[in-house]
């Protein structure tokens, strides 16, 4: 069984997790918005294959759907004491991003956001990987699949995607909260997939409010993804 590159953008509850929320218009800056009206939007994303973790931090005017803002001094953000540089795109607007080797990112990490008034809001983040607790066979029967997973926390969501590589079929795409740590795919679901090679993707989504937000709020989204190519008989 070999690792597989992700072939599609993964969508959960209408939000593209890897790239963040859509944002149009030119970015303003935090000096133009009351500090308590800035929503803190933090995304951490890692793919098993790539070996890196991407930290993407955005500061939105008014709420989670607001325009992304530039941090005007004295506002700024650090991760573990390292200043995070700004970038931007036509879709996302302004964002602050670091890419780190996953091997260097075990344990707890601290994001410190300093607002326009010099107030510091500190957030501690952990990023445990998602692991297959057992061996996923190269060839799977249609009688049903059980995949034990390690690295799940309370409230975590696991998204599963199975798509054909050789012929079109509807495939499988669903999101579950696994109480016993075992992902189950039924015989009925597998009947929608043609025999042959299949892209098997698992994504763990951990979403929670920030511990120290502004009055407008804040959210942390942590995504870890693994992928394999298997054969369905």
pLDDT tens-digit series, residues 59-86: 999 999 999 999 999 999 999 999 999 9
Tell me how long the chain is.
Answer: 233
Task: Give the Å distances, CA to CA, from 18 to 29, 80, 220, 223.
Answer: 23, 22, 13, 8
pTM for the full predicted model: 0.77
d(CA 68, CA 94): 5
The confidence score (pLDDT) of residue 138 equals 85
Domain residue ranges of the chain, discontinuous segments joined by +: 2-127+208-221, 131-206
- Please write the tens of the pLDDT for every residue from 123-147: 999 877 778 877 788 888 888 888 8
Looking at the chain, the whole-number percentage of residues with pLDDT higher than 90 is: 38
State yes or no: pLDDT of 102 exceeds 70. yes
State yes or no: pLDDT of 18 exceeds 80. no
Tokens of 75: 């506002």
Tokens of 41: 């939007």
CB count, 10 Å around CB of 85? 9
The 3-state secondary structure of 68-103, one letter per residue: ECECCCCCEEEECCEECCEEEECCCEEEEEEEEEHH
The confidence score (pLDDT) of residue 154 equals 81
Q: How confident is the model at residue 189 (pLDDT cuts 50, 70, 90)?
A: confident
Tokens of 140: 């799977």
- Please write the tens of the pLDDT for every residue from 143-166: 888 888 888 888 888 999 888 876
Closest C-alpha to 214, from 127, 108, 123: 123
């Amino acid at each position: 069984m070999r690792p597989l590159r992700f072939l599609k953008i993964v969508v959960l509850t209408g939000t593209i997790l890897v790239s963040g929320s859509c944002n149009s218009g030119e970015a303003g800056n935090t000096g133009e918005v009351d500090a308590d009206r800035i929503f803190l939007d933090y995304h951490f994303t890692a793919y098993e294959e790539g070996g890196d973790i991407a930290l993407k931090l955005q500061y939105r005017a008014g709420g989670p759907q607001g325009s992304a803002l530039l941090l005007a001094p004295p506002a700024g953000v650090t991760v573990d004491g390292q200043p995070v540089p700004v970038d931007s795109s036509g879709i996302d607007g302004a964002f602050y991003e670091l890419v780190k080797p996953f091997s260097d990112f075990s344990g707890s990490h601290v994001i410190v956001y300093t607002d326009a008034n010099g107030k510091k809001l500190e957030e501690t983040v952990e990023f445990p990987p998602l692991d297959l607790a057992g061996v996923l066979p190269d060839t799977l029967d249609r009688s049903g699949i059980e995949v034990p997973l390690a690295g799940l926390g309370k409230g975590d969501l696991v998204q599963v995607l199975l798509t054909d590589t050789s012929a079109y079929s509807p495939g499988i795409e669903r999101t579950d909260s696994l109480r016993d740590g075992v992902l189950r795919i039924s015989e009925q679901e597998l009947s929608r997939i043609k025999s042959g090679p299949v892209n098997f993707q698992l994504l763990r989504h951990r979403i929670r409010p920030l511990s120290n937000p502004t009055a407008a709020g804040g959210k942390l989204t942590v995504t870890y993804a693994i992928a394999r190519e298997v054969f369905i008989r």
